[in-house]
Homo-oligomer: A and B are copies of this chain.
Amino acid sequence: MSMKMVINRAAASRVLSGVVKRLPGETLLKDTTTNTRTMASKAVTLENLNPNIIKLEYAVRGPLVIRAGEIEKELEKGASKPFQKVIRANIGDAHAMGQRPITFIRQVLSCIANTELLEKGDFPEDVKERAREILCGCGGGSVGAYSASQGIEHIRRHVAEYIEKRDGHPARWQDICLSAGASTAIKNCLQLLCNDIDGKKSGVMIPIPQYPLYSASLAEYGLAQVGYYLDEDCGWGLSIDELERSLTDAQKNCNCNVRALVVINPGNPTGQVLTRENIEQVIKFAHKHSLFIFADEVYQDNVYAEGSAFHSFKKVLMELGAEYSSQELASFMTISKGYMGECGLRGGWVELVHMLPEVQAQLYKCMSAMLCPSVLGQAVVDCVAKPPAPGEPSYELWIKEKTDILTSLKDRAKLIADTFNTFEGFKCNLVQGAMYAFPRITLPPKAIQAAKDKNMAPDVFYAFRLLEETGVCIVPGSGFGQKPGTYHFRTTILPQPDLLNTMLQNFRNFHQKFTQEYA
């Protein structure tokens, strides 16, 4: 048996012993049919399964979240718990937490889905106009037709105009590619890098802590993960010295060709907003080392702190001058975050900057086999890229809804960090942007021991206890990465104000009890 098989077996056995062998929505799967073939005769077993799939972890929807779903079912069946409902603070899902959709977006969607409404329905004129314009770009005038794989051309043009307006620099519609949320586009771009050259894997630098789509996708594609630490003591800042250290270490110890750098700004899970100067330094670093930049800018509308502002990597790159005019960059955006929060509709885009045209053609070719992203998701992209303009019938309501949501998120960002900082052993940086707080927590040594006795990471142990005792579902820091010996968790700032206050109160009580129990 090869070494590789031994490792796979170990992984398989870890999986078998853990909660992940359960499927969501049920406690245990049993094969009740009479098996006449042994397990070994199955075509696909844990032993011959793609080992990258076994390695892949995605904590945002991991075992804790599966357990949260089970608890919800138990509550439905009348189980007695110390709480009445589960608060899903694990995922940036604004509507699930009670945020209302933007009226204009939903009016346009209903008109393009059901074109009879264009005649019969009572809608503002700009809604109908927008709906007709989108339908004009659809095959046969139906959102049921496939679009071009990169999206409907006039929507790509609107996105380019949006970016031009945002940055003050030209954007080409041909370089905009619409996608089913940012994740698909990110994965498509990462996949370009899969190539073992001279016996070395490609490596990708990602922040630690990071959004686990990155670690999951790197595992899935067999790419090397090269982590650089964000500096918690400096507000989760991004230090160039640390980038250099990480790169040098990887080149020495990791047997990989480092080819790309991921930056998440505003930060997920960490909530920092990079300064313009910092972005300049990052671009210079990437350029010096010929790294492709992945700029995850899905929270570009979510900036709350005084003095913070969103600067796109594209804009800063353009303003660095001709020396940087071939630095490659992919910038990702989504309709799931911002003020719209339309996670379920699956829409987003990537802008490709300075990618070699022949490489871009290969990327587009690869995407074409998946046909196209949801046309209704694309329609939401259109509304976001080209919102109602001043003077149009829907403008006032649009601005009011958008402002109300962003103001409320700003208030909650402050409330949650301020409150956590009053908890004993909590230290929470300012939430400058995005949708999360990522406080550091000090756990009593006895709690750490209790976790180890159960073969669990201490922060996972803490999060499971919190879930079972309060119904609050958070994601342990180990799901994002953290410096060894430190413990964190990520919570969203998305519960509506009343629920958020309840959640924080229950959290405080739990934490006091937990700390006393293990004192």
On A, residues with C-beta under 8 Å from B are: 2, 5, 12, 15-16, 20-26, 29-31, 33-37, 39, 41-46, 48-54, 56-58, 61-62, 69, 88, 91, 93-101, 106-107, 109-111, 113-115, 117, 120-122, 138-140, 142-150, 153, 174, 180-181, 183-184, 187, 191-195, 197-198, 212-213, 216-217, 220, 259-260, 290-292, 322-323, 325-328, 336, 340-346, 354-366, 368-377
Contact = CB atoms under 8 A, between A and B. Distances in A.
A33 B326 contact: yes
Given A48-B195, A106-B113, 8 more contacts: A24-B148, A36-B325, A42-B328, A57-B365, A95-B140, A144-B341, A146-B343, A187-B370
24 contacts: A5-B197, A20-B361, A23-B360, A23-B364, A31-B326, A33-B322, A34-B325, A35-B326, A42-B328, A44-B355, A50-B192, A53-B192, A61-B369, A95-B138, A95-B145, A100-B142, A109-B113, A145-B343, A180-B180, A181-B371, A183-B369, A191-B220, A345-B376, A374-B376
A276 to B, nearest CB: 22
B362 A291 contact: no
Contacts of A153: 25
Given A21-B357, A114-B106, A95 B139 contact: yes
Nearest to A324: B36
A139 B346 contact: no
A325, A369, A376: residue with the most chain B Cβ atoms closer than 10 Å: A369
A435 to B, nearest CB: 13
Contact of A365 (B20, B259, B371, B374): B20
Contacts of A142: 95-96, 100-101, 344
A181 B184 CA distance: 14
Given A192-B53, A326-B36, A328-B42, A144 B370 contact: no
Contact of A35 (B20, B325, B374): B325
A358 B12 CA distance: 9
A33 B354 contact: yes
A259 B44 contact: yes
Contacts of A39: 356
Contacts of A345: 143-144, 374-376
A342 B147 CA distance: 12
Contacts of A58: 365, 368-369
B358 A16 contact: yes
A309 B378 CA distance: 38
Given A95-B139, A110-B117, A114-B107, A193 B20 contact: no
Given A344-B375, A374-B344, A15 B362 contact: yes
